[in-house]
Amino acid sequence: MSRASDRAYEAIRSMILSGELPAGAQLAEEALAERCGVSRTPVREALRRLESDLLVTRTDTQRSFVADWSIDDVADAFELRAVLEGKAARRAAERMTDAALARIRGANHRLGEAIRLPVPDVAVFLEANRDFHAAILDVAASRRLAALLATLIEQPVVWRTAHHYSREALRRSWSEHEELIAAFVRRDGAWAEAIMTGHILRAYHAYADAHRGLAELSQKEAAE
């Protein structure tokens, strides 16, 4: 891939994850090329990559749109993540190094600081959470696991809904990370897998609660 294609990919992906390009929005190559400062060919290549990431869908007429994830789609993704990240945690525990453990601890420290603020900094929470899980996947050292998880971890709808998680849900995530760290310290793969599996499944319910709350709020506002 060219640098221009990589630049377009990162720019469009960022716009999708942030919600600047909402679910269902049509992605016109010419307009995107202008916004990304590249020609249409790199944009076309970027859209193909984003389609493989399940962030973009293409119609029979070859028009591209931002993917619209339903609650069932998200549930399915979390279930798959629970299995795959559980396996990654087991592998990571068995391959853990002191340097990797320090990186994982650092990510969770930043996460904890973000949620202890008077108003939790959800953007920092999400960034630190991503770093925490990425560090574990790096230690697991499985290209297949990394490739499979790449399409499951960053659904735009999950990122946007996370801004409405309760403080308790955020604190629970930090606490479960601390349990994972304890398992990593002991290089206990079975324990790490069990914690990670439960952590991802619990995260889905935190998402579902926030999703329902937003839906109810939207209905209430529409009725007023």
Provide the whole-model pTM: 0.76
Domain count, the chain: 2
Domain shared by 82 and 191, yes or no: yes
Digit-coded pLDDT (tens) for 76-91: 888 999 999 999 999 9
Residue 18's domain comprises 3-66
Residues 99 and 188 in one domain: yes
State pLDDT tens for residues 105-117: 999 999 999 999 9
pLDDT at residue 36 tops 80: yes
pLDDT in tens, 120-148: 998 899 899 999 999 999 999 999 999 88
**How many whole angstroms separate alpha carbon 114 and alpha carbon 135?**
19
Would you give the distance in Å from CA 215 to the centre of its chain? 21
Which of 43, 66, 89 finishes a domain? 66
Let me know how long the chain is. 224
Within the chain, what is the greatest distance between any pair of CA atoms?
57
Identify whether residues 16 and 116 lie together within a single domain: no
